[in-house]
Amino acid sequence: MPEFSATDCVHMAHALRLAERGLYSAHPNPMVGCVIVRDGEVVGEGWHKVAGEAHAEINALNVAGDKASGAIVYVTLEPCSHHGKTPPCCEALIRAGVSEVVVGLRDPNPDVNGAGIEALAAAGIATRVGLMRHEIEKLIRGFLSRLTRHLPLVRLKMASSLDGCIAMSNGESQWITGVEARADVQRLRARSGAIMTGIGTVLADDPSLTVRDASLQAAGKQPLRAVLDSDLRMPLSAEMLALPGKTVIYCAEDSRKSALLDAGAEVIKIGRGNGRLDTTAVLRDLAGRGVNEVLVEAGPALAGSLIADDRVDELVIYQSPHIMGSETMGMFRTPAWTRLADRKALDIIEMRRVGSDTRITARLAG
Amino acid sequence: MPEFSATDCVHMAHALRLAERGLYSAHPNPMVGCVIVRDGEVVGEGWHKVAGEAHAEINALNVAGDKASGAIVYVTLEPCSHHGKTPPCCEALIRAGVSEVVVGLRDPNPDVNGAGIEALAAAGIATRVGLMRHEIEKLIRGFLSRLTRHLPLVRLKMASSLDGCIAMSNGESQWITGVEARADVQRLRARSGAIMTGIGTVLADDPSLTVRDASLQAAGKQPLRAVLDSDLRMPLSAEMLALPGKTVIYCAEDSRKSALLDAGAEVIKIGRGNGRLDTTAVLRDLAGRGVNEVLVEAGPALAGSLIADDRVDELVIYQSPHIMGSETMGMFRTPAWTRLADRKALDIIEMRRVGSDTRITARLAG
């Protein structure tokens, strides 16, 4: 592990903050930030805004101009060495005459994976790798999940009362939580490559699953809508089929396929496991489509089976300060859990007030 | 409202901290603290430890000795003017020659109720009343509830998972929460004059409902155990009947009364309302026995009916970081709540980590 100074940390933290600005727009690419420093002065900064457009390093070099010569470059992710949609950043850094590149995280993308660092070193540029690595991994964990596990990060969002109810027995659930919590869900949607739900939720609530908040700079993209629908019961009149963005329906039985194709949906036939759709196959398909993070907004059946199958990486519960009582629906359907020992332990990552509700972020305890 | 200086506030805050030391032992009396200050120096302090023993003022005067002469006395509650189990504090303050008495809260006890302040003024001692009144009211709100509403403060404690489950469907519930949360419940018990439960909980769990933590200086007292048992199904072998402290069984049908009396219980016949025991009558009886705070540790039926009837002043939920799923029991049985509008809103007073659990303290929103 190379040595890093306090000044190095300040500049990399700055680059990390810049990277975060791509939260809603950079995916399927990773969020990346870059800061260029000469003689202790920041002469350039940039971040990756939209896939297909300039990378963070290029944006920072454009700001620095001639001042990049002899400068130190701090970049959260290894610069690319390959021609993708844009030319390789390594070439630009070499051409600009920078003296050193400090890299947060080596890019696990098989097209890069150390080749960028090697190209810089081969051109006589000093490199140091690994500064704030854990913070950067946390920020782009969806991207890392897709590249290394070939699965997106799965974030399950629920809205419940303090006594764990998500709806009345008759299905009434609008609204369990307040406007601030619902605005927060818009931010979860905007950072996600796909929103996943079950056909039960579609039939009960006819949700749109879109990002409606124009202030979320998602570069006009709508997350893909993924519906788990074993028997292809999706109504042709479903709201989401008429909205901007793509709806993909995963089923095991596709006799109604052509009508749904006509309605604008994509229909994918997937196998069953344990009598249910094989969610791993669905998630692999989504990863193959470039989805880094999938947000699950579903009812107790899908939520329960994802939890029981350990398919949830992050659980986000918006807990409203109400008691809803007994004539209600619970959060997770888990018919196989009959003993207390069957319960799942969580690591609580954060509890935060959002309006009058409490947002609880948790991971399944290892 | 008289004027108070910053110095006055410092001394009254000190008296309030002293008062709190009586949390586990002073009841049914109120917690009271007293600080005596001469020439800016604290010369005496005291608090009320145990009902029947010296009041806070007397303990503080005993420390101050001759230095009480000409001093200012800060006392959280109006000094008594009547002969109770101990002689009136006003007489002692007058005899000690104090120059001024600053009182936090006027005592609503009909035996005092301003008479203490009048007695001091009649003796030529300056008085100012109302400093930190709200903080003091909060501390002794159980005592105030008993004197003014003729009902104890009702605190309902529940232990649940994050998804609102209190037991598996088969009744298994040991333990939902961790040792730290269970130790915290011991503190709730020790500050309470009574622990209330339902016969269902007794039959299912055979709880002891005692304070077992010797470090809680409850002056050797055990809270009264109050069991709601309409049809007097209390087993003669119930654990609690053999333990130190008193068990009072409230019933509507008392044919088994003599056997339970022989087993050491007290049996009180109470009317029914809505087919259930009249909980208001039970609470009035407890207030008549000097109970300032009652802790309810009950199952979903009693918890639900107390919530639905607005009989709960404070709700304390120990929420464990687990998902228990669907084959479980919920927190509150509320058969009449069929629409979302029937739900009860809560004001969250505090959320705090207790071990790995979260303690949520709430009041029913007005």
d(CA A147, CA A133): 17
Across chain A, mean pLDDT equals 95
pLDDT at position B354 is: 98
Residue B316: its pLDDT value, please? Answer: 98
Higher pLDDT, B51 or A354: A354
The confidence score (pLDDT) of residue B346 equals 97
Length of chain B: 366
Task: Indicate if the alpha-carbon torsion angle A83, A87, A88, A91 is positive or negative.
Answer: positive
For chain B, the straight-line distance linking the first and the last C-alpha, in angstroms and rounded, comes to 28
Nearest neighbour of B333 by CB, restricted to A307, A326, A338:
A326
Model confidence at B31: pLDDT above 80: yes
Taking contacts as CB-CB distances below 8 angstroms, the residues of chain A near B309 are none
pLDDT digits (tens, 9 = 90+) for A330-347: 999 999 999 999 999 999
Identify residue A23 by its one-letter amino acid code: L
pLDDT value of position A1: 75
- Confidence bin at B176 (pLDDT 50/70/90): very high
Residue contacts between A and B (CB atoms, under 8 Å): 149
The closest of A322, A307, A313, A314 to A358, measured between CA atoms, is A322
- Whole-number pLDDT of residue B213: 82
Predicted model pTM:
0.92
Average pLDDT, integer, range A21-50: 96
Between residues A217 and B347, the one the model is more confident about: B347
Answer whether A161 sits within 8 Å of B164, measured CB to CB.
yes
d(CA B55, CA A128): 71
pLDDT at residue A359, as a whole number:
98
Q: Using an 8 Å CB-CB cutoff, list chain B residues near A308.
A: 325
Q: How far apart, in whole angstroms, are the C-alpha atoms of residue A353 and residue A181?
A: 9
Q: What is the mean pLDDT of chain B?
A: 95
Crossing angle of helices A56-64 and A89-96, in 10° steps, is 20
The predicted structure's pLDDT at residue A86: 73
Q: Higher pLDDT residue, B318 or A218? A: B318
Q: Do B351 and A351 touch (CB under 8 A)?
A: yes
What average pLDDT score do residues B281-306 get? 97
**pLDDT(B180) > 90:** yes
Q: Give the C-alpha separation, A83 to B135, whole Å.
A: 68
Compute how many other C-beta atoms are within 10 angstroms of the C-beta atom of residue B69.
13
Complex confidence, ipTM: 0.91
Check residue B310 and give left, alpha or beta (phi > 0: left; psi -120 to 50: alpha).
left
pLDDT of residue A215: 82
Name which of B310, B311, B340, B361 to mutate to probe chain A: the one with the most chain A Cβ atoms within 10 A of its Cβ.
B340
Share of chain A above pLDDT 70, in %: 99
**Contacts A346 to B, Cβ<8 Å:** 162, 321-323
Percent of chain B residues topping a pLDDT of 70? 99
Confidence of residue B134 (pLDDT cuts 50, 70, 90): very high
pLDDT at B73: 98
Q: Which stretch of A243-252, B109-118, B177-186 has the lowest confidence by average pLDDT?
A: B109-118
For residue A348, pLDDT over 80 is answered with: yes
Q: What would the two tokens of residue A55 be? A: 């990378």
Q: What is the mean pLDDT of residues B288-300?
A: 97
Whether B346 sits inside 8 A of A323 (CB atoms) is yes
Band of residue A315 on the pLDDT scale cut at 50, 70, 90: very high
**pLDDT-derived band of residue B272, with 50, 70 and 90 as boundaries?**
confident
Is residue A112 predicted with pLDDT exceeding 90? no
Strands B357-364 and B344-354: antiparallel
Query: Hey, which residues of A are catalytic here?
Result: 57
Instruction: Report helix, strand or coil for B97.
Output: coil
CA distance B183 to A94: 64
Residue A93: exposure state from Cβ atoms within 10 A (0-12, 13-18, ≥19): buried
Identify the three-state secondary structure at position B5. Answer: coil
Name the least confident of A108-112, A186-190, A358-362, B88-92.
A108-112
- Mean pLDDT to the nearest integer, A61-68: 97
B57 catalytically annotated: yes
Mutate to test the interface with A, among B322, B323, B327 (most CBs of A within 10 A): B323
